[in-house]
Amino acid sequence: MKRVVITGMGVISPLGNSLPEFKKALFEGVSGAGPITKFDAGLFKTRFAAEVKGFDPLQFMQKQDARKYDLFTQYALAATQEAVTQAGIDFEQLNRNRIGVIWGSGNGGIETLQNELLEFAIGDGTPRFNPFLIPKMIVDIASGIISIRYGLRGLNFTTVSACASSTTALIDAFNYIRWGKADMIITGGSEAAITEVAVGGFNASRALSTRNKEMSTASRPFDPTRDGFVIGEGAGALVVESMEHAQQRGATILGEIVGTGMAADAWHLTGTHPEGEGAFLGMQEALQEAGIRADQLDYLNAHATSTPQGDTSELTAISRVFAGSKNLSISATKSMTGHLLGAAGAVEAIISILAIQQNKVPPTINTVNVEGDFAQQFHLPLGKATEKEIRYAMTNTFGFGGHIATALFRKWSGT
């Protein structure tokens, strides 16, 4: 099978709206959390989130197009533009029949749907809806819009596996290129779900932190005092292609995808398996596909949303997979970005590549103590980044319904 490499990355996030801004804030340990400004959250149990700041869609698209796109599609286009630019792509010189788009999102145009329904509900019953309602709302539209913008006629679809969606998209892109079905694929994920219905729904399921007086430190993965996740938004885009294709066009290779794993907890509607069964299987499969031993993994970007049950089950699975490993460093970067839901996997894949490039483990902020004896088993840098030679990095993502997706990356050595 073909080897698969990454040649471009782009980010829209609570830590910055470009890769350089994001990287700087990430390694400095900046919190992206703050008061919700997108709506009046005064009566909600949770009144804070990790919002994208200062995003101007007109920097990335025409005004008439912006009106046709939900915010999650706008984020997708912006992140993709940065990734394509970094990858140095001239589509006119490439076979666009062999270039595809595989995107991930858990909620799609949830803001558009909510607002249209609210307007209908307070009206006189006359069905007046925006003619762009359906294309703005449907979850697959971002992949379609990306392909239209760049004239890409290869395979095109969207993956939906809740908060594992964009890792699942990356895994699909990896496989289609390995199988020779495409030369290049734009992949990633986007989410714009900081809305009344999403915050209210997650509050009702007791998934969100309610530390309204401690907003910037509310996301505290692994800490015994954690009480839920901080909802975030944004997008991550990656250009992936076969090694041969990248080398033929003289691209700079940022890293290589070498292993993936997908599984299911088969346990609960929203909760994770107490022994981390699905996470265990996903990580094991990724290691096996990469052909490396557990003690060869240098860095793990944990899913670690800061929920009481979820963090414990993941740490339990990690202990099972990496028992006895003295090499593994772990961080929970949602402590900074918040939980980007369907976009989390793509953004954390980018974090993993940045860690490899910088030889630096991103910090877990806000966490003071790590529950149990996990801090004695592994290296979990708290508060600040640490220098470390990183050759292999892994990222975990899990979604409601028990969806598990894991990806494993290797430093590019030139061969």
Which residues does the annotation mark as catalytic? 163, 303, 339
Amino acid at 133: L
Q: What are the φ and ψ backbone dihedral angles of 9, each rounded to 5 degrees?
A: -140, 145
Cα separation, 194 vs 184, in Å, equals 32
Ramachandran region, residue 44 (left: φ > 0; alpha: ψ -120 to 50; beta: rest): beta
Parallel, antiparallel or unpaired: strands 329-331 and 360-361:
unpaired
Q: Which pair of structure tokens corresponds to residue 378? A: 């592994």
Cβ proximity of 9 and 79 under 8 Å: no
CB neighbours of 155 closer than 8 A, spacing ≥ 6?
100, 101, 102, 176, 181, 182, 185
Enumerate the H helices of 291-362 as residue ranges. Answer: 308-321, 334-337, 344-358
Vertex 275: Cα angle to 271 and 278 (nearest 5): 70
